[in-house]
Amino acid sequence: MSNKFEITALVLAGGAAQRMGGVDKGWQLYAGQPLIERMMALVKPFSVQQFISANRNLERYQTLVDDVITDVAPWQGIGPLGGLYAVLDKLNTSHLLVVPCDTPRFSDAALQHLLENAQQAPEMVHFMETVSGPQPLHAVLPVAALKQNLPEFLAQAEYYGVMSFYKQIGRRAVHWHRDEELVNINYLDQLEP
């Protein structure tokens, strides 16, 4: 693993989207473009490698990245930590950037701010926070700590909370002043910008 601050990006698109009626959220259009394409375009300039965590329409997602990550046993269906676990053996950079597919207003400036903060204390997890509260799925994680701690956390946890896992590594909130950039698209009527 490199000593340089290098980023692998993981875009999370593996959820069930129950509040959207079970559609594949990543392929829903926002301002005429699929959510997943917007997020991939955002993370690509900041990362040396990109993955998508998905559990359906894998061939379609494969057109956007070199590798699509699917949840693996026994951690299928546990949420975002399942996606993080599934990518562990693919990581060879110092840090992992995680973003969900459903925040199409997230900006280059916000992402740059997150990464700059992560570089200042690279041993900790850094996650975005706005006046609405923490946004744990917009985060930068140190890969060594992720690999060391996640399997044990999952084996012992009764609840697979992302923030609980971050606390085990050490976490720091990165405040962002534009709350609207981190609004999740959870309903079909939110797709109109």
Which residues lie below 8 Å from residue 157, measured CB to CB, with a gap of 6+?
164, 165
pLDDT at 8: 97
Give residue for tokens 């053996």.
Answer: 89
Residue of 79, 73, 30, 74 lying closest to 53 (CA atoms): 79
Q: pTM of the entire structure?
A: 0.92
pLDDT beneath 70: ranges in the chain: 1-3, 14-22, 186-193
- Return the domain boundaries, the chain: 7-190
Please report, in range form, the residues annotated as the binding site for GTP: 12-14, 25, 71, 102
Contact 50, 66 (CB under 8 A): yes
**What does the DSSP 8-state code read for residue 78?**
S
CATH number of 7-190: 3.90.550.10
Please report, in range form, the residues annotated as the binding site for Mg(2+): 102
Residue of 41, 35, 96, 106 lying closest to 69 (CA atoms): 96
Beta bridge partners, 95, equal: 7, 142
For 76-87, write each residue's pLDDT tens digit.
Answer: 888 899 999 999
For 103-141, write each residue's pLDDT tens digit.
Answer: 999 999 999 999 999 999 999 999 999 999 999 999 999
Tokens of residue 40, six digits: 């991939």
